[in-house]
Amino acid sequence: MQSDQKESAYIQIEQLNKSFYPDGQELKVLKGIDLNVRKGEIFGIIGFSGAGKSTLARCINRLEEPDSGRIYVGGVDILSLDKKELLKERKRIGMIFQTFNLFESMTVFDNIAYPLAIEHVKKSEIRKRVLEVAELVGLTDKLKIYPGRLSGGQKQRVGIARALVNHPDVLLSDEATSALDPQTTLQILDLLKEINQKSGITILMITHELDAIKYSCTRMAVLEDGRFIEQGLVSDIFNNPRSKTGELFATVMREFAQTEFRDGEAI
């Protein structure tokens, strides 16, 4: 990597490797990942199922421990931190998931407040911060109800609010729209773009949906079999892919763009 790239990168990953050992046999999932993400951008990572996308996301905040490599977030070497330092640093890294991960027995308010409650933040401060993020994601009128009464899009908004309640500098979006219908997906993507524009938060959008990246990101990387095989501008990769995986995604997008729909179904 060039020194100017390092200086401009907010998330910087160098030669990241991660293996699992099902049945005692080594399965290499990440194979020498290098990545630079600029501060304040929405950067897309795309790949098919099994490419290593979720493992990469979980390594960035050390929910998974990499085997080797370096991860810097805002200049901090994440892999060098002890447990206490890591817990503090994780507050700067919010994460939203495909499956929402909400507590069904808690109200929307308590779900959003959870990261603050376990840190024993004062109740007055919790209320203030929950109300702030609830307004940001459009959930002010839903705070007293339970997740079972929410739509999928509303549940994801709760997940986004919970990820933002610590005012993080980075948001990891791991397949955040994959379980949503197209209209709701667009609403969530618009929300993420609005949050990015208002707060300047750096968003790493990890997905298998090229249309989500094309709509939200300027730059992207294509992950295949644990390696980045292509990185660059979204427009370049979409219009002139240099990899088989990039070409497959681009072809699907072109075919989808030409599909005619009636009453929500392809004809």
Residue 256 has pLDDT above 90, yes or no: no
Query: What pLDDT, on a 0 to 100 scale, did the predictor assign at position 252?
Result: 59
Residue 83, token pair as written in the block: 């447990």
140 domain residue, yes or no = yes
pTM, to two decimals: 0.87
CA pair distance 128, 117, nearest whole angstrom: 13
Query: What pLDDT, on a 0 to 100 scale, did the predictor assign at position 261?
Result: 39
146 domain residue, yes or no = yes
CA pair distance 187, 178, nearest whole angstrom: 13
CA pair distance 249, 46, nearest whole angstrom: 9
Residue 4 has pLDDT above 60, yes or no: no
200 domain residue, yes or no = no
Q: Which domain holds residue 146?
A: 93-167
| Mean pLDDT of the 245-250 span | 71
Query: What pLDDT, on a 0 to 100 scale, did the predictor assign at position 209?
Result: 85
Query: What pLDDT, on a 0 to 100 scale, did the predictor assign at position 182?
Result: 87
33 domain residue, yes or no = no
Q: Considering the chain, what is the average pLDDT of its residues?
A: 88
| Mean pLDDT of the 205-233 span | 92
252 domain residue, yes or no = no
238 domain residue, yes or no = no
User: How far, in Å, are 42, 76, 102, 219 from residue 228 at the CA level?
Assistant: 17, 23, 32, 13
34 domain residue, yes or no = no
CA pair distance 172, 71, nearest whole angstrom: 14
CA pair distance 50, 41, nearest whole angstrom: 26
| Mean pLDDT of the 190-195 span | 94
260 domain residue, yes or no = no
Number of domains in the chain: 1
